[in-house]
Amino acid sequence: MDTAMLYALRDPLGIPAHPLIFLILGVATWALHIAAVHVLLGSSVLAIRGALSKDDHWRRLADAMVNTAKVAVSVAIVIGVAPLLFVQVIYDPFWYTSNVLSAWWVIGFIFILIVATLALFIFYALNHGLRTHKTRCPGSMILAVLLFLVVGFIMHALSVQMLEPDQWKEWYAPNGVIDASGRSIHAFDPWRFGFFIALSIPVIGIWLFGYRRYLQGRHEAGTGYLDFLKRMGTRLGAVGTLVALVLLVGWMRGLPEDIAGFATGIWPIAAAAALIVAAAFPVLLGRRLDRGLWGYTPILVATVAMIVIATMREAVRWVTLSGVHGYNPLDYKITMDWYSTGLFFLTFGVLGGAVVTYLLTVAWQAGQTEGTYTPSRAVNRIGTAGIVLLLLWIAQYFGFGLWTAYA
């Protein structure tokens, strides 16, 4: 598959803004998505471990982690929509080809994810109050985790297949005979897959520090449980980082010959450093961990680390597609559309910013409050502003729409 063929596969419509914007949005939203996936996997495994234990701390942790997993699966799915959108915009030749060549797996992804999510919710529904009640049907949660790994593997394979355009024609028409069945997975890299899955361990470890800080705000957890969480978080952070780094080295060592130099470049080192800093940060905070809002900062640092790791992942794609195959996503034809571009950023930054700030503030403060929660006047104003912005959005929709449709 030569460069001209790759460019022929681009959509001739072009894109409505500079490709760099889509590249950045793709990386940033993927980082948030994979972080949510890590929390989902990590909390699910801790929930299973705790649900099978008789230890009071473990059972209490399991109770909390089931609730975390339940929310994390929704967050992972909804945030995952964004990178899925942006990859199609500038990497359409690669994404679409990879998907079609494994079509049955792509369709399977949907149904497997549905079954996995339902299995998780079944476990949640059957196990209210794990701390004091017997565990029911742990198999459903185990099934959920296994199926989440399967859908993760499918996404992984699609991402790897994207990077091998030299193989595409042979995969589609082995020995010149077209196989349009889409039943095969054609390429995968166990080291790379293992690395991204193993990141769940340090990420959930860091998450436990945030959970610990949240409990401190509610003044309802004893020091024994808080210490348990601290020990657990530290241990998971350290062990998980080590495991992830070993797998990262394995991935880098196995890179194809034509991009082997990437392994000793700046990006793998930056990713490893970011991961180590994120895992060590709660320890570095020392006593400050228990003061003010410092207890939440490990999550912020981990988010930055995930963005660095996501950038490294993007860099691998870049050196492969641009460096080896001559495809430059940044020279995509631009058919500039100011209205829809501006509307997105206003919706994202202003409307979304106001409404999400309001909702998360209310949710967090309500969780920290005993009895009925009443927001402050300032918080109320943000909520009112959010409603006004939503009404303005709807008004502009009909204003521009009716004018365009009937003028």
Partner 1 sequence: MDLIGLFPTWYEPAIGSGWVIGLIATIHVLFSHTAVGAAILFAVLAWIGARDNRPELIDFIKKYGLFLLVFSYILGSITGPGIWYSTTVGSPRGISALIHNFVWKWATEWVFFVIEVIGVYMLVYLAGKLERRTYMKVAVIFGLTSYTTMLAIVGILSFMMMPGRPEQWFAEGGYLYGFYGPNTFAQLMIRTAFMFTMTAVVGGIVAAGLKDEVFKRWLLKRLAIVGGLSAIVGMSLYPWYLGTLPSIAHLVMENRLPDYFTPSILIVLGAMLAYFAMTFFRPKLVTATVAGFATLAILVLGLWPGETVRESVRKPYIAGQYLYSNQVIGHDVPGMGVKSEIPTLEKVGFTHAHVFWPDSQKEITRENTMEVGRNLAITACSNCHSLSDTGIRPLKNYFPKQADVEGIRTYLLGALATGNTMYMPQIPLQDDEAEALAVFIASLNDPEAAEAYLDGETTALLDTSSREEDQ
* 314: Cα within 13 Å, side-chain hemisphere: 24
Distances (CA, A) of 252 to 48, 172, 262, 324: 32, 28, 8, 17
Helix, strand or coil for residue 326?
coil
Residues 274-313 contacting partner 1, CB under 8 A: none
Minimum Å gap between C-beta 210 and partner 1 is 17
Candidates 54, 129, 134, 178; binder of partner 1 (CB under 8 A) is: 178
Minimum Å gap between C-beta 358 and partner 1 is 8
How far apart (Å, rounded) are the C-alpha atoms in residues 164 and 187?
A: 8
- The pattern of x and - marking residues 310 through 349 that bind partner 1 according to CB under 8 A reads -----------------------x-x-x-xxx-xx--xx-
Is there binding between residue 101 and partner 1 (CB under 8 A)? yes
Minimum Å gap between C-beta 346 and partner 1 is 9
Minimum Å gap between C-beta 173 and partner 1 is 4
Q: Which is nearer to partner 1, 106 or 270 (CB)?
A: 106
Sign of CA dihedral 360, 363, 369, 373: positive
Q: Which is nearer to partner 1, 103 or 160 (CB)?
A: 103
Q: Which is nearer to partner 1, 16 or 138 (CB)?
A: 16
Indicate the residue type of 305.
Answer: A
- Both structure tokens of 223: 């020091």
Candidates 18, 53, 88, 150; binder of partner 1 (CB under 8 A) is: 88
- Both structure tokens of 231: 């020990």
Residues 183-242 contacting partner 1, CB under 8 A: none
The angle, 0 to 180 degrees and rounded to 10, between the axes of the packed helices 190-198 and 138-162 is 130
Candidates 55, 56, 107, 261; binder of partner 1 (CB under 8 A) is: 107
Q: Which is nearer to partner 1, 161 or 297 (CB)?
A: 161
Distances (CA, A) of 373 to 42, 216, 296, 362: 31, 18, 22, 8
Helix, strand or coil for residue 178?
coil
Candidates 148, 168, 228, 327; binder of partner 1 (CB under 8 A) is: 168
Phi first, then psi, for residue 15 (nearest 5°) are -130, 155
Q: Which is nearer to partner 1, 180 or 260 (CB)?
A: 180
Residues 369-398 contacting partner 1, CB under 8 A: 372-375, 380, 383-384, 386-387, 390-391, 393-394, 397
Stretch that binds partner 1, among 7-15, 39-47, 271-279, 319-327 (CB under 8 A): 7-15
Residues 128-157 contacting partner 1, CB under 8 A: none
Q: Which is nearer to partner 1, 223 or 372 (CB)?
A: 372
Candidates 54, 129, 134, 181; binder of partner 1 (CB under 8 A) is: 181
Candidates 190, 359, 368, 381; binder of partner 1 (CB under 8 A) is: 359
Candidates 25, 232, 279, 312; binder of partner 1 (CB under 8 A) is: 25
Minimum Å gap between C-beta 137 and partner 1 is 17
Torsion of CA 213, 214, 216, 222, to 10 degrees: -100
Q: Do 68 and 15 form a contact (C-beta atoms < 8 A)? A: no
Helix, strand or coil for residue 15?
strand
Residues 64-83 contacting partner 1, CB under 8 A: 71, 73-75, 77-82
For 184-221, give the DSSP string. ------HHHHHHHHHTHHHHHHHHHHHHHHHHHHHT-S
- Both structure tokens of 247: 């797998």
Distances (CA, A) of 195 to 120, 185, 328: 24, 20, 27
How far apart (Å, rounded) are the C-alpha atoms in residues 73 and 39?
A: 9
Residues in contact with partner 1, total (CB under 8 A)?
98
Minimum Å gap between C-beta 405 and partner 1 is 5
Phi first, then psi, for residue 368 (nearest 5°) are -90, 0
Is there binding between residue 114 and partner 1 (CB under 8 A)? yes
Minimum Å gap between C-beta 238 and partner 1 is 32
Task: Give kind and range of the element (H or E) at residue 371.
Answer: none
Is there binding between residue 368 and partner 1 (CB under 8 A)? no
Is there binding between residue 358 and partner 1 (CB under 8 A)? yes
